[in-house]
Structure 1
Amino acid sequence: MRTLTLLSLLALAACADDPASFADATYDPVSMAEAPESTVDLAGADLDEASAEADETAARAPSAPPLSDAAFASRLLRRSADLRVSTETHDETLRTARAVAARYGGMVSGEDGSAHDGGSAMTTLTLRVPSDRFDAALDALAALGTVESRAVTVDDVTAQVVDVEARLRAKRAAEARYIGFVAQASSVSEMLEVQARLDAVRAEIESMESQARALRGGVTLATIRATIVGPATVAPLPPAPGLFARAADAIAVGWHGVLAVVFGLLPLWPLAVLGTVGYAVWRRLSPRVAV
């Protein structure tokens, strides 16, 4: 009997994973521990019925009217921008851009420097500034040189934040229920089952907390990626060589030509030896002509 009751309580705690069903039910460890099996089953049925009714009500709900200015101002907006600026003084402009982040209460979270195709220096700064000072900081960076490109992105993450926080509250309620069930376990197997579910819920809570922090962090601090491009640098031409340098180069070229001829004829020396010996034999064996 106690085992069946505990299993029913575990099934009821699992309903807390659904924010809609969690909103329609409360938990009392004492009353649930003393409740008979029929009461526990009825409570679970009531939760399922309440969840189904909430889903049906949400499906029949009319669409939301357009947001007013005040309602839009309360939305959670994640803002970012990509800016490309060319300047004649790359290093000085780079120092000024870093100062802009500090001036508007932000920070430089990343910096990447490289050489442009034309030989000019190019550095990309990633700035994080408060969202309410985003426009002012972006304008200050754009004023540092000639704007080549500028793009602003605004993402409404209100629904994501609300959804994550609602699921987080449900998971925390489930965690509290499982903690209460640990004391009611009558055997090692029951305790291990409850502990396994408790560990799984806590892992989900940590993941959701990290997701919620990331979403709200993106709303609190806007991101600006500013690329600063310096002037193209042209390499100077090497000086023309003098008279003696040209003469030395000519001698070196001639000497290399002689060596090339010598080394080119070396493979033919066996033929030269054979030809010389053959000519000598022919002269010795040929009859002499009397004069």
Structure 2
Amino acid sequence: VDSLEPAVALVRQLARQLGGYVANTAMQTGRGQLRSATLEVKVPANRFDEGLSGLAPIGKLESVNVSAEDVGEEFTDAIARMANARRLETRLIELIATRTGKLKDVLDVEQELARVREEIERYEGRLRYLQAHAALSTLTICVHEPPPVVGHPGSSVVAEAAKQAWRNFVWLFALVVQSLGIVIPLGTVATLGWVAMKRWRRGQAPRAAEA
């Protein structure tokens, strides 16, 4: 996107238009960082495709990753468990109504009834969550501005390239000078050795002739 804040505002507006909302937002706007934001958007499941197509006018779409979670099996299981718990609740209520035994036995049945009712409440809560989860789809949207141009503030790319070229030249020149500091002494020693060897050979030549 060209600018981060207007793009985030457009995503929020799109969520409202679809009858959804933005659940979570994380923004990164630090100095020297790529300015970006990640938004978790909840939209009605039947308007999921409309939400995807609505992102195109906001900026350039780089990638799309769609995943689906099937909650049908868990939903069916929760309904069956709650039905069994309700049948047990009915039997316990009837048992308490017709119970004529000891007080301890009645209290035990009432305690079991309380446990079963608590279990039913948990199943009801889980079913409400699954229904809401199935009715809404989640869009995780990442938006970012173009990467900043490498360089110091107020400098151009050409200027930075020229500075880097000059630094490379200075480094190369220093390396050559450093190398000459080794090559020149070695060359001097080699030259002196060659002269000494030549003089020695000249001295040996007359002796060989006399022999």
Q: Residue 227 in 1 paired to residue 142 in 2?
A: yes
Deviations 1:154-191 (A, max 9, x none): 22322221111111111112112212222233222111
On the 8 A contact 2:55/2:61 being kept in 1, the answer is no
Q: Aligned pair in 2 of structure 1 residues 100, 110: CA closer, same or farther (>3 Å)?
A: same
Say whether residues 1:127 and 2:44 are aligned partners: no
**Which residue matches 2:108?**
193
- Superposed counterparts of 1:109-148, under 5 Å: 109-115=23-29, 119-148=33-62
| 2:9 match | 95
Q: Tell me how far apart the structure 2 counterparts of residues 104 and 123 of structure 1 sit (CA, whole Å).
A: 21
CA-based RMSD:
2.2
Over 3 Å counting, the alpha-carbon distance change for 1:147 and 1:158 in structure 2 is same
Which one has the bigger strand percentage? 1
* 8 Å CA contact 2:11, 2:55 repeated in 1: yes
- Is there any run of 5+ residues in structure 1 with no aligned partner, and where? 1-86, 239-291
Equivalent residue, structure 1, for 2:78: 164
CA distance in 2, matches of 1:137, 1:219: 16
Cα deviation digits, residues 219-274 of structure 1 (max 9, x gap): 11111111111233465159xxxxxxxxxxxxxxxxxxxxxxxxxxxxxxxxxxxx
Check the 8 A contact 2:36/2:142 in 1, yes or no. Answer: yes
Q: Is the 8 A contact 1:90 1:231 kept in 2?
A: no
Q: Which residue of 2 aligns with 1:205?
A: 120
| Cα displacement (A) at 1:206 | 1.6
C-alpha deviations, 1:82-106, integer Å up to 9, x for none?
A: xxxxx11111111111110011111
For 1:204 and 1:101, locate their aligned partners in 2 and report how far apart those are by CA, in whole Å: 36
- TM-score, with length taken from structure 2: 0.65
Q: Following TM superposition, by how much is the alpha carbon of 1:201 offset from its aligned partner in structure 2, in angstroms?
A: 0.9
Counterpart-to-counterpart distance in 2, 1:227 and 1:192: 58
Amino acid at match of 1:222: S
Please give the secondary structure, in 2, of the residue aligned with 1:228: strand
1:215 aligns with 2:130: yes
CA distance in 1 between partners of 2:123 and 2:21 (Å): 27
The aligned residue for residue 236 of structure 1 is: 153
Equivalent runs, 1:1-291 vs 2, <5 Å: 87-115=1-29, 119-185=33-99, 186-233=101-148, 236-237=153-154
Q: Secondary structure at the match of 1:126?
A: strand
CA distance in 1, matches of 2:148, 2:121: 52
Q: What secondary structure, in the 3-state scheme, does the structure 1 residue paired with 2:65 have?
A: strand
Matched residue type, 1:180? E
TM norm structure 1? 0.48
- Percent identical pairs in the alignment equals 30
Aligned residues: 152
Equivalent-residue separation in structure 1 for 2:109 and 2:119 (angstroms): 16
Gaps of 5+ in 2: 156-211
What letter corresponds to residue 149 of structure 1 in structure 2?
A: S
Give deviations 1:141-161, integer Å, cap 9, x for gaps: 244212232111122322221
Structure 2 counterpart SS, 1:151 = coil
CA distance in 2, matches of 1:209, 1:117: 49
- CA distance in 2 between counterparts of 1:118 and 1:142 reads 28
Aligned-partner Cα distance in 1 for 2:104–2:33: 70
